[in-house]
Amino acid sequence: MTAIKIVRWDNRDFSRNEKEWNELLLRSSADRLFLSWDWQATWWEVFAPTLESELFLLAAYDDTNALVGMAPLHAVNTDLGGILKVKRLQFIGSCWRGMQTVRTEYLDFIARTDVHTEVIQAFSVYLKADSVWDEFVLPHVDRDSATYRLIANAGIWPEAYLRETDAYESYNVDTTGEFSDYLAGLGAKTRTKTYNRRNYLERLGKVELTCANADTIDQYFAALNSLHRTRWNQDIFAGKRLEFHRKLAGKMVRKGGVKFSMLSLSGKPLSVLYNLRADQREYGIQTGFDDRFDKKISLGLIHMGYLVEEAFRDRLKVFDFVAGIGKQAQYKKHITQHRRQMVTLQFVRARWLKRAYAMYDRLAPWLHRYKTRNEKALEAANGS
């Protein structure tokens, strides 16, 4: 068994080890976008000062002093109900139950695949010995991942109270085959919305699909916000969130990692999709479109259809729609082939906090039934 040594990095180590970080990432099973140095370092730069967060970044080395693992963590002092103070350890990219930052999917430890188990165990031993944190939160972890099996099923911290919360599904398309086969596998209505309605749109005027470059990214963010504001009455990216994505896109565009596209009709922007690419995988980060343009057309679906077709043509491996739902319905499940079951793991170690959560979890089903019963009674009383 390989001997693993854990070293805690400071901000200087974080900023100067981009190359080593990304080389390790390519030799791991961790997500290539959300756990890339670009995403993690940009998130830390933009959001950590406001959060007053403490860097808790762990690096794992083998007996040859080779970097074999990373635990990109930070610690935040959190108020529970404005009364209780909790030190919450969590992954960079997340601020669970705290300030809204940006959604970071598929969070995980980064570990070289040949020593994955040994690295996770070494991190676990280190974290168990550290007495500072009250709870450790791992959001957006894949139920089918090796990390989930090691952490949730093996009971690495038997003294901690384990909770699973925030379960949801993430959706993706395998783009290694033929686009025609993908279309044939869709339902008739979905195929019409994503592909066949192109003919209708093209009869209305000149359809153009353009992509942002390093000089036009800001214009595309402005167009995305404008369309989102029309539909939802607010910008999707503003303040720190806009700062994060502008900085991230600025870094990734030089590497060919930005797929920021605009669908226009006779020069008028109708839909903007902000996607990112990493390791032959395209991620649908954010959409914005004019839903009042024509009720016969689902502009967002048509636009996505163009991009999925391009992903097949470019021989990408996966088009990842990640999480999120539509305004009216969960459209993603109709246009994708595969789903990933995601969950948040919460390890509670402080004795008083364990008791509080255990009591809450015992009462939660009863409280839910009570709330539902009262809501139904209220509806009946109101004649609804």
CA–CA dist 163, 358 (Å, integer) = 9
User: Residue 351: what pLDDT?
Assistant: 85
User: Residue 65: what pLDDT?
Assistant: 95
Strands 135-142 and 84-91: what pairing?
parallel
DSSP track, 324-342: ---SSS-THHHH-SEEEEE
Q: What is the pLDDT of residues 37-61, one digit of tens each?
A: 999 999 999 999 999 999 999 999 9
User: Residue 155: what pLDDT?
Assistant: 66
Q: Which domains are assigned to the chain?
A: 5-169+342-349 (3.40.630.30), 176-316 (3.40.630.30)
User: Residue 322: what pLDDT?
Assistant: 86
Asked if residues 262 and 213 have their Cβ atoms less than 8 Å apart, the reply is: no
> What backbone torsions phi and psi does residue 275 show, to the nearest 5 degrees?
-120, 155
User: Residue 28: what pLDDT?
Assistant: 97
Asked if residues 244 and 43 have their Cβ atoms less than 8 Å apart, the reply is: yes
User: Residue 384: what pLDDT?
Assistant: 34
Partnered with residue 348 across adjacent β-strands are: 135, 161
Q: What is the pTM of this model?
A: 0.91
User: Residue 381: what pLDDT?
Assistant: 38
The encoded tokens of residue 256 equal: 């060919």
Q: How far is CA 150 from the centre of its chain?
A: 21
User: Residue 136: what pLDDT?
Assistant: 94
- Please identify every stretch of the chain with a pLDDT value under 70, giving residue numbers as ranges: 1, 81-82, 154-155, 324-330, 365-384
